Each structure stands twice: as C-alpha cells, then as structure tokens.
Structure 1
Amino acid sequence: MAEWVNEYKGKLVSPEKAVSVVKSGDWIRYTFGVNTVPVLDKALALRIPELYDVQIHAGVSMRPHAIIDADPKGEHFTWNCTHMTGIDRKYFKMGRAYYMPTKYSEEPRYIKENSIVDVLMVQVAPMDKHGNFNLGPTISHYRACADVAKTIIVEVNEDMPIAHGGYGHYLHVSEVDYIVEGGHTGLPQVSSPNPTEVDEKIASYVLEELRDGDCLQLGIGRMPNALGKMIAQSSLKDLGVHTEMLVDSYVDMVEAGRITNRRKQRDPGRLVYTFAAGTQKLYDFIDNNPQCAGYPVDYTNDRLIACSIDNLVSINNAIEIDLTGQVCSESKGSRMISGAGGQLDFVDSAYNSKGGRSFLCFSSVYTDKEGNKHSRINPLLTLGAVVTDTRPTVQFVVTEYGKVCLKGNATWQRAEKLISIAHPDFREELIREAQKLGFWRQSNKR
C-alpha cells in the first residue's frame, strides 16, 4: 500500500500542469458517457489561444464542455464524435463537430489499429489499496486507449461508484502519468421522459413475445423504459442481462425479482454491460455490487459472445424504415441524431442466438415543429438517411399498430406487412407509392 501511495503522490499534479502536456496537433481521447473530466476540461480551455489543430475524440456527451465555449468557431479544437447526444448535436449545429462512423463492437480495434491516442484523459474513482483506479460506469474502450496512449491523465472523482467487472474496468497507478484530484464533481443524471400511451402500446406488443429465462438488451428512451416497468410488474422469471448500455429500468426489474441472470450460458448470476447512464439510483446500484460486471465493448457487443447466450432478446429504437426493410436509427436525412452505436451488433446477435429475437420499435408518426405529422414508414428512406440495419438483418418491427416479422419475406410481403402497422392516415399513400416502386402485387391486402 505504501508503495502505491508514494507513487500516487509523485504523480499528483495541478490540472494546469497535467494539461500542459497537450501540444498542437495532438489527438485527445476525452470524454465518453458519464465519465467526464470537468476539472481538466476547464484547465484545457484556458490553453485554447496557444493550441491549434487539436483533435478531440469523444462521444455520448453528458455535460457541456468548457473547451467548446472557449473556442466556439473551432479555430483551435475539432470535436470528433462517435455517438451524438443533444449536447453533441448542438456542437454540430455550431459547425464544431464531425461524426465518426463506428461499429461499436469494433471500437477497441479501431483504437489499436487505426487511431492515434496522444493523450488519454479519463475520470476515475479514488485509488484503492492495491493501486487501482476504477473506471466506474464507463468501461467501454478505455482499456484499449490506455494500451496505446502516449500520456495518461486521470481525474479522480470522489463521487464515482466502484464498478465490479469482468476485465478492463480499472487502470493501475503504475501506468498513469498524471493524477488530478477533482473532488466531488458528481455524475451526470440522465432520466428518460415519462412514457406516452404510444410507448406503452409498443412495449405491450414486445412484452407478449418475452419468455421466462430470456436475456435482455434494452436501448435507452421512453419505450424501453416503459417496457422495463411492464416487465417489473409482470410474472416473468429468471431474466438475464447482456447489454451495451445499462439504464434505470434494469434496476426496477432486479428489485422486482424479475432479473436473476441464473440461466445465462455466459457470466451466470451477473448483469453484464459496457457503460451505464441514468439517475443516482443506477449509480448506487452499480456501486460495489458483485452482481454487475462491466466489460470492454468488444466483449459485450461481440457477435460470437453475445449469440452464445440462449434466448437473447434485443429491443431498440429506430427513426425511420423504408418499405423494403432498411432501417435508419441515427439520422434525419443527412442530419446526424445519434450514431450507429451497437444496434447492428445486437440485431444480428439476437437473431443468431438460440431462441433469440430482435425488435426494432418506433412510433408510426412524428410531429414536426409546425405541427405536421410525418410517417416513419416511408416508400424510400429520406434522402441522406443512413442505413443502420440492412434489410436481411431486420427481424421484428413494432409500432403502436402492431408487430411484424420481416425475415424470409419478399419485398412485396415486406411492403404489405409494414403498411399494415403504419399510421392509418398514410396507408393509402404508401400503397400508391409501393405500386410505383414495384413493391405491390395486385393480390395484396389493402
């Protein structure tokens, strides 16, 4: 213990000293999810005038960043983002951000083979008696970053929960270059909006397909949150979890006795995830809880690992689908909304799991700022829309008007099924467009 304490003291520096290592042209792995670096961020912002062409590599922003406020025109720093939140979209509108297309399961490999990591800045929990800094809610790709980074700076957050893990969930003081004590900076609180009647209707269709012993992967948002609440109130037993993102609804299901993880072929008895974002309830649940296991994303999202778990059920949101089954879950036209993330990883893995099922869920329409309704089921994807899930990978599609399975279906069958769960106001128009495109047979049902 004394050895690690002495090494800690020798590496402890002020925020200003730590960020002094940053040079013009550097690539910095910065923040991801709730593991932000508010103290280092403020210190680095003060250096803006003297730095140029600094590349920030970040994603899933949960707090605004001082370096953006200090460089609003992007004359010194460039924000490169692997997955956008509302904060990142704001940077994009400012002309400050660029999207980095990512298949989330491959992120650690990108880091080791295709990226430059001059400086890694990461928030951690206080050092334990063995010299370890726990990564808390965000394991993700930080181990890969640490393996290749030229300089590692940790910002210690006294409020960080201690996350148990499989591997890759901590950094050792011996591999860290600088330590900055951030004090009590808290964690971003992320709460899902209350589910609407539409969300609850969609969730009810999915709930009908769930069975005792299923292993769940839920995305974030109102509909998955609604489903989590319904599962907690159901009679389902011995559910498991192998997911990318951990959210509050899992806590509800555990506390209701629905999740036990007993039937899993991998990590039995443990709730597996790669990063977590929610309210304090979630962070308290993770803290020093051996039932939870945080892994790097190339474990949680790896197809061979995930599909080796029987009855894996993947439930995710989508933005738009065309009549042949191409799904966009990351953009409105060419305007980025989020990112590919690991959706395709789990859509594919769930279908290839023994007894597994994949669901893509969305409301049939959305309303624009002028109050006009638009169908999310369209003849073709909006110009510029990104294909997140290709046609052959899509299994179940669910709206508030029902659920359909597209596997093994011809284009005319797909068009018929998707129109049947479109909003009634748009069905006749969709049939006419399907006829023009050659997706509609004369014998099709109306």
Structure 2
Amino acid sequence: MLCGQCAAEPLTLTRALVGAAAQIGDVEVFLGANFSRTFSRTSPPNLRFASYGALGTSMDLSRAGRLEVSQMHYSALHAAFAEGALKADVVFLQLREGPRGLSLGLANDYSALAARHARVVIAEVNAGVPVTTGADLPADIRIAAFVEAAMPPLDVPPAALGHVSEQIGRRLAELVPDGATIQIGVGAIPDAVLAALTSHRDLGLHSGVMTDRVLDLIEAGAMTDARKTRNPGAAVTNTLIGTRRLYDYADGNPHLMVMPASETHDHCVLRSIDRFFSINSGIEVDLAGRVNAERAGGQQVGGLGGIADFTRGARASKGGASIIALPATADGGRISRIVARVEAATIGPGDVDFVVTEFGVADLRLASVRERAGRLTAIAHPDFRDGLERAACGGGPG
C-alpha cells in the first residue's frame, strides 16, 4: 500500500493502519519524505517499508534496517507511477472538499498517479487542508471509502537557525540575483538561505516544496514571481510543508500553484525558466565536485530525490545556476564534509556550479580538475585542508 507523503500524510488512516497491523497480515508500505512519527523502528514487524529515499523521519527506519530504498530520481518515480510500471494495491489519500470538487491540497505528487492504478483508494477528508490551485483530484480516480479526519494536517515548523547555517545563507544569497526563480528544500540550510534573501526583489518560486520561510519572503515583498518566464505571478510547488499559516495562505490562492512533478521536476520545463537557481544540500562533496546525498557510514541516510532533476535543469537554464550548500564539518567538527572521494555520487561534477560552506564559495564553472580541488579545499574547515591538499596531489587523505 502507499500513503501520501510530507504534510499530505493522511494521519487518521496511517495511524489506524499501525494500530490494526496485527489483524491485517504482512503489508509493504511505500513512504515518501516523512515528517511524522507514525512509522518508526518500533512499528509492528509485519509492516515492511519501501521508499525512494531515507528522507525525514524515514531515516530512522533505514538505520534500523527496515527501509528498502529504490534508486529513482523523483521525475522518474512520477513517470513510473503514471505509466503503471509501479503500482500499489491500496492508496491512502488526504483530500479536502472544495468549490470545484475534491482537492489534493498539500501535495500533487505520485500518490494521485498511483491511485489511478490501485485496486482500492481510501480518502481521508480533512477540513484543515487548503484547497489549492492546480491540485484538483483527477476525475478518473474512484474512491472506495471516505474517512473524516480526526486531526488537523501535519504541522512542520521552520528549522531553528544557527550561526553556521546563517553564515552559509548569507554567502549563498550573494550568488542569487534579483528576478531569479529559485528551487529550495527543507531544513536548517534552506531556511537560512531563505532568511538571507529578504532584501532581494522579484524572486520567484518553482520548487518541489514550499515552506513557511518562503511565505516570509512573499510577505517581505522579496518574492513576487513577477519576472518568472513560466507561470508568471504564481509560486509553483509540488508539495506544501509548513504550519497553519502557510496552509491558510494557500487556501484558494490563485498565486500559489500545487502542480504535479511533470511540471515541477521536468527537465524541459526547468530549462525553459530563465534565471533558474537550484539550491540544495548534501552529505558530502569531494574534490572533483561530486555530491553525495544518499549514504553516510555505509548506511542509507538520504536518496536521489529531485536533486539531479533540479541541478541539471538549473545548469541548462539561461542565466541559471546549480548551488550546493553544506556545513564544512559534521559530528561536532570531527568529520570533514569536503572529502577526497564521496561514498556515493548522487550527482556528478558536471552538475554543480557553486559549492558553499561557512568558509566561502567554490566556483566550479569552467574549472579544471586541479582548480576544482584547490577551490573546494579552500572552503573546507582549516583543520582538514592539509589532508585534502595531500589527497589532491595523490598522497592519500592523510
């Protein structure tokens, strides 16, 4: 079975599934990016879990060896469910009754595509979900049963900002011009970047997610979507992940569109957007410019997701750029996140224009292999630079 992801998780249904697991036998549950604690390493053993990444709270399932991850880009995942190559027997959706019928509300993702091919679709109707532009439930989806939500949709507040993330945000904001259309994720680094963009003008959004921090930019007058070359005047996202404030803003708002991945993640769409800036993070970056967003210490702690879709779209965009931002160290400063060679190459060296840490910006455009290594070493934590220099010269990491 498959359930909605992010804030579109139908909590009444998913919690009922966990509660009744002992009575229903073995079930494989396909999860997306999770932000609730509904499913965990202590979930009943007859529930097996699969996903396109160990994303959000699903990371705990991965660390417990209970998550099977498929190596699929988000755009390919969308296509596989649309074509029926991937199928679910049962789909749980979260919906809202609107003036034109049922709305998908907080996510217009692969769940609706899976519902087209499912044997049974059960819908949780939640009055707290916004009716969003672009997210009408497709007319050909047949709902077998409706359940009234027993709780409001998931609330995901912005991340707390620390000194390092704020430094990174300020450095990255200098790379983004007025009038740019941005793609951004969820977490401390994306939130710090958005907080640093409040003095910009006429920014636009075309992204996989929209959060409360994006709404801050809209309310500050920094994001108007006025100069977008596609869907001008409207922010475009695949999912909404935030609080009641964001959901109220989205309700019936024609200037915010919740669109399928065929619009938000498609390469031809992305390359058609002038000044498209993709802003993503990673676990580590190596001296060639490869980015690992999947594995750490031999464990799956991320996934392919949409990072390759967005970075390649941004590099193909007129005036656009692909940016990777991450702290220089992990584990209290004991591990460098600029490394000689990544554990897994989620995106290649040709997919990144800039890498940003709290120590600076590495411009990888037109850089040779030697220049890349030097520029990336320069933005590593000083404690690790000597070892990286030796590695770049062929002497090992030191």
For normalisation by structure 1, the TM-score amounts to 0.84
State the 1:47 CA deviation. 4.2
1:240 aligns with 2:180: no
1:270 aligns with 2:209: no
Give the alignment's Cα RMSD to 1 decimal: 2.1
Q: Which residue of 2 is the match for residue 214 of structure 1?
A: 180
Whether the aligned pair in 2 keeps the contact of 1:248 and 1:282 (CA below 8 Å) is yes
Q: Which SS does the other structure have where 2:195 is aligned?
A: helix
Q: Deviations over 1:356-378 (max 9, x none)?
A: 0111011111225xxx5211111
Whether the aligned pair in 1 keeps the contact of 2:41 and 2:60 (CA below 8 Å) is no
Whether the aligned pair in 1 keeps the contact of 2:338 and 2:380 (CA below 8 Å) is yes
State the 1:432 CA deviation. 1.4
Determine the C-alpha separation between the residues in 2 that align with 1:45 and 1:251.
34
Determine the C-alpha separation between the residues in 1 that align with 2:56 and 2:230.
35
C-alpha change, 1:329 and 1:169, in structure 2 (3 Å) is: farther
Aligned counterpart for 2:277 among listed residues 300, 313, 318: 313
Aligned counterpart for 1:405 among listed residues 339, 363, 368: 363
Q: Which residue of 2 is the match for residue 15 of structure 1?
A: none
Determine the C-alpha separation between the residues in 2 that align with 1:378 and 1:324.
9
State the 1:422 CA deviation. 1.0
Q: Deviations over 1:159-205 (max 9, x none)?
A: 1111112xx5424597212111124x112222233222221221222
Q: Which residue of 2 is the match for residue 97 of structure 1?
A: 67
C-alpha change, 1:303 and 1:106, in structure 2 (3 Å) is: same
1:301 aligns with 2:270: no
Q: Which residue of 2 is the match for residue 49 of structure 1?
A: 22
Consecutive unaligned residues in structure 2, runs of 5 or more:
none
Whether the aligned pair in 1 keeps the contact of 2:54 and 2:67 (CA below 8 Å) is no
Q: Which SS does the other structure have where 1:252 is aligned?
A: helix
Q: Which residue of 2 is the match for residue 135 of structure 1?
A: 104
Which structure 2 residues correspond to residues 283-362 of structure 1 after superposition, within 5 A?
Answer: 283-362=247-326
Determine the C-alpha separation between the residues in 2 that align with 1:93 and 1:203.
30
Whether the aligned pair in 2 keeps the contact of 1:133 and 1:172 (CA below 8 Å) is no
Aligned counterpart for 1:375 among listed residues 336, 347, 364: 336
1:36 aligns with 2:4: no
C-alpha change, 1:197 and 1:128, in structure 2 (3 Å) is: closer
Aligned counterpart for 1:109 among listed residues 79, 104, 110: 79
Whether the aligned pair in 1 keeps the contact of 2:359 and 2:381 (CA below 8 Å) is yes
C-alpha change, 1:147 and 1:366, in structure 2 (3 Å) is: same
Aligned counterpart for 1:228 among listed residues 194, 208, 216: 194
1:156 aligns with 2:129: no
Q: Which residue of 2 is the match for residue 190 of structure 1?
A: 156
Work out the number of aligned pairs and report it.
396
1:395 aligns with 2:353: yes
Q: Deviations over 1:56-91 (max 9, x none)?
A: 1111112222697551xx3x2211022334521222
Tell me the amino acid that sits aligned with residue 140 of structure 1: D
C-alpha change, 1:430 and 1:174, in structure 2 (3 Å) is: closer
Percent of pairs identical after alignment? 30
Q: Which residue of 1 is the match for residue 37 of structure 2?
A: 64
Determine the C-alpha separation between the residues in 1 that align with 2:156 and 2:16.
25
Deviates more, 1:54-63 or 1:342-351: 54-63
Whether the aligned pair in 1 keeps the contact of 2:328 and 2:358 (CA below 8 Å) is yes
Q: Which SS does the other structure have where 1:244 is aligned?
A: strand
Determine the C-alpha separation between the residues in 2 that align with 1:216 and 1:223.
14
Q: Which SS does the other structure have where 1:175 is aligned?
A: coil
Determine the C-alpha separation between the residues in 2 that align with 1:284 and 1:314.
27
Whether the aligned pair in 2 keeps the contact of 1:31 and 1:61 (CA below 8 Å) is no
Determine the C-alpha separation between the residues in 2 that align with 1:49 and 1:207.
51
C-alpha change, 1:358 and 1:173, in structure 2 (3 Å) is: closer
Determine the C-alpha separation between the residues in 2 that align with 1:90 and 1:32.
16
Q: Which SS does the other structure have where 2:91 is aligned?
A: strand
Q: Deviations over 1:202-255 (max 9, x none)?
A: 1222221222211111122212212212212x1x22111111111111101100
Determine the C-alpha separation between the residues in 2 that align with 1:68 and 1:135.
29
State the 1:293 CA deviation. 0.5
Determine the C-alpha separation between the residues in 2 that align with 1:403 and 1:67.
38
Q: Which SS does the other structure have where 2:158 is aligned?
A: coil
1:123 aligns with 2:94: yes
Consecutive unaligned residues in structure 1, runs of 5 or more:
1-27, 440-446
Q: Which SS does the other structure have where 2:207 is aligned?
A: coil
Determine the C-alpha separation between the residues in 1 that align with 2:395 and 2:304.
28
C-alpha change, 1:113 and 1:176, in structure 2 (3 Å) is: closer
1:204 aligns with 2:170: yes
Determine the C-alpha separation between the residues in 1 that align with 2:286 and 2:339.
5
Tell me the amino acid that sits aligned with residue 412 of structure 1: R
State the 1:403 CA deviation. 0.8
C-alpha change, 1:438 and 1:171, in structure 2 (3 Å) is: same
Whether the aligned pair in 2 keeps the contact of 1:363 and 1:376 (CA below 8 Å) is yes
Tell me the amino acid that sits aligned with residue 279 of structure 1: T
C-alpha change, 1:86 and 1:299, in structure 2 (3 Å) is: closer
Whether the aligned pair in 1 keeps the contact of 2:4 and 2:111 (CA below 8 Å) is no
Tell me the amino acid that sits aligned with residue 276 of structure 1: L
For normalisation by structure 2, the TM-score amounts to 0.93
State the 1:41 CA deviation. 2.6
State the 1:273 CA deviation. 0.3
- Return the index of the structure with the highest Cα Rg: 1
Q: Which SS does the other structure have where 2:394 is aligned?
A: helix
Deviates more, 1:41-50 or 1:220-229: 41-50
